[in-house]
A and B are shown apart, each in its own frame.
Chain A
Amino acid sequence: EAGVAQSPRYKIIEKRQSVAFWCNPISGHATLYWYQQILGQGPKLLIQFQNNGVVDDSQLPKDRFSAERLKGVDSTLKIQPAKLEDSAVYLCASSLQGGSQYFGPGTRLTVL
C-alpha cells in the first residue's frame, strides 16, 4: 500500500514570496490533515479536511495561508506572502474516518 506522498521535499524562498505544497493521501482515506512542525517543537494542526469539507481550521493563519481539497483526494496548502517565521516542516497526514493517522515525509520550507 502506498503511503502519503508530498512534494516538494524541500523549498527555499524569499520572504513575501508565495509557495504551495501538495499532498496525496493514502487511497481511501477520507480525512486529511496539514500540520506545521517548527524546529524543536511538536507538529501543530493547521487544517483538517473530511472528504472535501473543512472540519477544523482554527489554527490556520487565514490572512496568509490557504488550503483546498477540491475532489476529496489531493490537497494543496499555500502561503502568500511568506514570512520568516513560516520556516518549518509541513506535514500531511491521512486517516480512515478519524482513525490512526499516517504521515508523509514532509516539506521543509526555508524562508530567507
Chain B
Amino acid sequence: GNSVTQMEGPVTLSEEAFLTINCTYTATGYPSLFWYVQYPGEGLQLLLKATKADDKGSNKGFEATYRKETTSFHLEKGSVQVSDSAVYFCALSEYNQGGKLIFGQGTELSVKP
C-alpha cells in the first residue's frame, strides 16, 4: 500500500540556518504530494504541494520538488526563523483512491534565536 516516510525529529536549528526535512514515498500510481505544517495548538495548514513529477511547490520561503526517480519530496528553506518552529508533515494522495491523504509521522522543528 501507499506510505510516506519522513526523517525523524526533533530537528533543532539556529535562526538563519538552512533547513532540509527528508520525505520519501511509496505509491502504486501517480500521487500528488503535500507538505502540511502544524503550529503549536493549531490545526494542520497546507504549506505547499506538487501534483506531477518535476513540479516545485513553494510558499513562505519553503520549497519542495517532486522527484519521481527517487520517490522523494524533500522540504527546504534557505534561512529559518524562530516563527518556523512547528511540526511538518509530508503527505500524498491519489485521485483514484478518493483523494484521502496518507501522512508521514511528522518532523518537529525547533528554531533557536
Q: Which residues of A approach B to under 8 Å, CB–CB?
A: 4, 31, 33, 35, 40-45, 48, 50, 55-56, 91, 93, 95, 98-106
Contact = CB atoms under 8 A, between A and B. Distances in A.
B43 A42 contact: no
Interface string B91-105: 100010111111111
Given A42-B91, A42-B104, A42-B105, A103 B99 contact: no
Contacts of A31: 99
B100 A33 contact: yes
B46 A44 contact: no
A8 to B, nearest CB: 14
A94 to B, nearest CB: 11
Interface string B69-106: 00000000000000000000101000101111111111
B100 A103 contact: no
Contact of A41 (B36, B42, B106): B106
A43 B101 contact: yes
Contacts of B43: 4, 91, 103-106
Rank and list the top 8 A-B pairs by shortest CB-CB distance, nearest first: A42-B103, A98-B99, A103-B44, A105-B43, A103-B43, A45-B100, A55-B98, A42-B105
Interface of B: 4, 34, 36, 42-46, 49, 89, 91, 95, 97-106
Contacts of B36: 103
B105 A102 contact: no
A55 B28 CA distance: 20
Contacts of B102: 45
Contacts of B45: 103
Q: Which of B49, B89, B99 has the most CB of A within 10 A?
A: B99
A101 B46 contact: yes
Contacts of A93: 44, 101
Given A42-B91, A98-B98, A99-B99, 16 more contacts: A33-B101, A40-B105, A42-B103, A42-B104, A43-B44, A44-B103, A45-B101, A56-B97, A56-B100, A95-B99, A98-B95, A100-B46, A101-B46, A101-B101, A104-B43, A105-B42
